Amino acid sequence: MRHSQPADMTTASGWEGLKGTALVVGQGGIGRALVQKLGERQPQLELLWLGRRSTPSLDLSSDADLNQLGEVLTGRSPLRLVINTAGWLHDSQRGPEKRLARVERTGLEQAFSINAFGPILLARAVESSLGHGQSAWFSSLSARVGSIGDNRLGGWYGYRASKAAQNQLLRTLAVEWRRRLPSVCVTLLHPGTTATPLSAPFQQGVAPERLFSPERSAGHLLDVLAQQKPPEDSGRFLAWDGSTIPW
């Protein structure tokens, strides 16, 4: 079956001068920097920045919040860009498991709920608002340590596995949307090690030049997204420099 090209695909990817709504989910370091960068680079976009502390709130573990998101998006300009930056690695109760003895059901459930179930349920919540026939981007932050092929060090069971599960869920989504919503590009992004609360306990030993500021990271991520063209690039797992990461 042949698909018609999205309306504004005459430019490289339809990214330049993108008009409509952009949704950034997650109010942490990278989320904040992305909102700022998008405001500078694409001031014509209507920015919606949601998380657990926003009004309305968007807790990715809450079906009520996800249902409400559909209503929030109805009546706004078409959704052209979604970037999910919500993620979980540690909290005051627990951190990443260095060895098997540390693996517990609650920690695994927490990691999977936010890092894997959250992004695919977010996709479901926003699907009917996406693009409206124009090109659109749905991206979510993954992590290189979620790569199964690249796992040589071990450890961090729940985080690794939940990011790998996210990758599979969104790759599956990309296959479906290539058929049903070919104007939408699904992209999994690794931001590089970035100085935020998520990485704070693990920054020792990271060479200064390899520890990005959230602003630098956000700039790289937007540069990479701008190069992705729906539908042919949909379903890729990419690092901050645009290189492909093995699944």
Ligand X SMILES: NC(=O)c1ccc[n+]([C@@H]2O[C@H](COP(=O)([O-])OP(=O)(O)OC[C@H]3O[C@@H](n4cnc5c(N)ncnc54)[C@H](OP(=O)(O)O)[C@@H]3O)[C@@H](O)[C@H]2O)c1
Binding site for ligand X (CB under 6 A): 26-31, 51-53, 58-61, 85-88, 114, 118, 141, 143, 190-191, 193-194, 196-199
Give the CA count within 13 Å in the CB-facing half-sphere of 228: 34
Q: Which residue number, 66 or 181, has a Cβ lying nearer to ligand X?
A: 66
Which residue number, 110 or 134, has a Cβ lying nearer to ligand X? 110
**Is the Cβ of residue 20 or residue 29 nearer to ligand X in the bound state?**
29
Pick the closest to residue 135 from 184, 181, 177 (CA basis).
184
**Considering beta carbons, is residue 59 or 215 the nearer one to ligand X?**
59
Q: How far is the CB of 181 from ligand X (least distance, A)?
A: 23
Q: Smaller CB distance to ligand X: residue 63 or 176?
A: 63
**Which residue number, 181 or 188, has a Cβ lying nearer to ligand X?**
188
Q: Which residues does 172 contact at the CB level (< 8 Å), separation at least 6?
A: none
Distance in angstroms (rounded) separating the CA atoms of residues 127 and 143: 24
Q: How far is the CB of 84 from ligand X (least distance, A)?
A: 8
CA nearest neighbour of 58 among 107, 166, 49: 49
The torsion defined by the Cα of 39, 60, 154 and 142, in degrees rounded to 10, comes to -30
In the complex, residue closest to ligand X by CB: 28
**Shortest Cβ 216–ligand X spacing (Å):** 12
Cβ atoms 71, 64 nearer than 8 A: no
